[in-house]
Amino acid sequence: MAVAAAGENIELAPLTTLKLGGPAERLVKVDETAELVKLVQAADAEREPLFFLAGGSNVVIADQGVPGTTIWIRTSGIEERELEDGRVSITVAAGETWDELVARTVDSGLSGIECLSGIPGTVGATPIQNVGAYGQEVSSVIASVLVLDRESGEVKTLTADQCGFGYRSSRFKGNSRFLVLGVEFILDPSATSAPIAYAQLAGSLGIETGERVPLPVARETVLELRRSKSMVVDPADPDSVSAGSFFTNPLLDLAEMADLAARAEEILGPDDVPPSYPAPEGMAKTSAAWLIERAGFSRGFGEGPIGLSRNHTLAIVNRGGGSTGELVAFAHGIADRVESVFGVALVPEPVFVGHHW
């Protein structure tokens, strides 16, 4: 049996990129998908509280820890098959490391997720958050998601259309009904990247947006950009002890965007205009980092154990010796100031466990 109980009262902080949070009442490590399904079905039948932890890169765990059983998902397995149209289907277990998968696809000449290089965490987390960066989102290449429906106890396959993907969201986010067991991606066999859609990345590559570059070049350039922002987990980089971008970029309707622009002009003058990018359903996306900086928070802000990264204003870092309570209070201070100045509510990107925003 591939289920190994790691024990009781186990500290979860070392299993997270923030290195914060209290203990699990009970921690169980699971290595095989079939055993994961059996374990969850049995626990749900007994109405036992469950918390699922994988890469630990997008969670903020309460200082008091997590009651019940924490299931540490370390499942593995990758299957590839060529489709009739020449594209390649890759079905990946939830516990596989995301960046290792990206590296594998680049090495195999498969295009579609190369700009998502360097993102920490596991494959199973990517559809939940609809992970995206540098002009790519996983929803554009996900064909289906294998889930355990905890209401019926059945294993089901949901098509991409059934996943409710949105900006950094899906029907899985904040919904405990479905446990992601695996993800099927459809990628294009190509030595070159998908068209580069992100202006900063295109500039770093020395090309125009819409052009393509060799897959390894795209991956390495994205990794360089992420490292420059401390967005690649690195034991040698104290600014990478974070949950990545702590706030999502706000989506505003046209009236809200106009109000933001008016406030910005009044406070900052006509030359410092808030960024605005087209978003679905007539919305506009603006920059959380721009709002934070213009509200008075610079990189490296904060004198205590919790502060802003010296390389990215969207990352809140644990410098050591702090607590989750301190981090949440610090984040609220930033969000409250931004809302007071600009009238825009910042929404946290990580999942809060054992407490609420």
Residues 177 and 117 both lie in one domain: yes
Catalytic residues: 168, 245, 349
Based on the fold, state whether residues 264 and 329 are members of the same structural domain. Answer: yes
- Rounded Cα distance between 324 and 357, Å, is 12
Same domain as 108, residue 220: yes
Number of domains in the chain: 3
Residue 8's CATH number: 3.30.43.10
Q: Are residues 243 and 318 in the same domain?
A: yes
In a domain, 233, yes or no: no
Residues 182 and 316 in one domain: no
* Domain termination site, one of 228, 261, 278: 228
pLDDT in tens, 256-302: 999 999 999 999 999 999 999 988 888 999 999 999 999 999 999 99
For 31-75, the pLDDT digits (tens) are 999 999 999 999 999 999 999 999 999 999 999 999 999 999 999
* Whether residue 108 is found in the same domain as residue 224: yes
123 and 43 inside one domain: no
Provide the CATH number for the domain around residue 301. 3.90.78.10
Confidence (pLDDT) at 38: 97
Distance of CA 228 to the CA centre of its chain: 18
In this structure, are 167 and 280 located in the same domain? no
CA distance 134 to 191: 19
What residues make up the domain containing 332? 238-353
The 10s digit of each residue's pLDDT in 308-336 is: 999 999 999 999 999 999 999 999 999 99
For residue 4, name the pLDDT band (cuts at 50, 70, 90): very low
CA–CA separation, 45 vs 37, rounded Å? Answer: 12
Strand partners, 14: none
Q: Using 50, 70 and 90 to split pLDDT, how confident is the model at 5? A: low
Residue among 244, 242, 258 at smallest CA distance from 344: 258
Residues 152 and 288 in one domain: no
